Amino acid sequence: MFEHLIQFDQQLFIAINKGMSNPFFDWIMPLLRNRYFWAPLYLFLIIFLPRNYGKWGWFCLAFILITFGLCDYFSASVVKPAFERLRPCNDVTLKDEINSLVSCGKGFSFPSTHATNHFGIAMFLFGTFYSRWKWIAPLAFLWAFSISFAQVYIGVHYPIDVLSGALLGCIIGYIISSVFLTIKPNNKWQPGN
């Protein structure tokens, strides 16, 4: 059963990495997973939250950073060393089949830390702001999905790596959002004002 899952994961990886290959994706996917590409979004949050919520905006930013820190720690320092799964671009059985668009890196593959971090933040934003801004759900999760999908397309993660990272990030983001709303209940927080 486990072997079939790994085989399916590799086949799906090849279908995305090679089968979907085209010049536009070859250009955009490396950008989507680059942290500097999203700098305007991060800057917007840093300005928007304190400007609209004062000290609670700063508090919300601190919780976003806590979410990011926990996601990054659990993914990179706890789960990856426990599984030690090679990245597809470092797997000698796949190395010649991969359309590698960035340097591979030496770290492990499972789970994707990019997916964990971004889905964690997306879930935090969803949990914290959804009661006021329904559009935050598709926007936040599309953002996280695009970054995670790019990880597979460029050849550094398997699909199961990003799905597992997304699940781990969502769990952490949900927990931290719940803690934030416990400290600052939604009826007092009033996101969107």
Q: What is the per-residue pLDDT across 30-58, written as a single tens digit (0 to 9) for each?
A: 999 888 999 998 999 999 999 988 888 89
Q: What is the pTM of this model?
A: 0.90
Q: What is the mean pLDDT of residues 136-157?
A: 93
Cis bond leading into 111, ω under 30°? Answer: yes
Evaluate whether 103 touches 61 at the Cβ level (below 8 Å). Answer: no
How many independent structural domains does the chain possess?
1
Which one of 29-33, 61-65, 85-89, 154-158 scores highest in mean pLDDT?
61-65
Q: ∠ at Cα 66 (64, 71), nearest 5°?
A: 95
What was the pLDDT predicted at 193? 47
pLDDT for 112 equals 94
- Does residue 53 form part of some domain? yes
Q: How confident is the model at residue 76 (pLDDT cuts 50, 70, 90)?
A: very high
Residue 23 domain-assigned (yes or no): no
pLDDT at position 185 = 61
154 domain residue, yes or no = yes
The verdict on residue 13 lying in a domain is no
What average pLDDT is seen over the chain? 89
Judge whether 25 lies within some domain: no
- Kindly state whether residue 14 falls inside one of the protein's structural domains: no
Residue 146 has pLDDT above 90, yes or no: yes
Residue pair 121/98 in contact by the 8 Å Cβ criterion: no
84: left (phi over 0), alpha (psi -120 to 50) or beta: left
Task: State the amino acid at position 191 in one-letter form.
Answer: P
Residue with tokens 């939604």, as numbered in its chain? 186
Domain that holds residue 66: 41-189
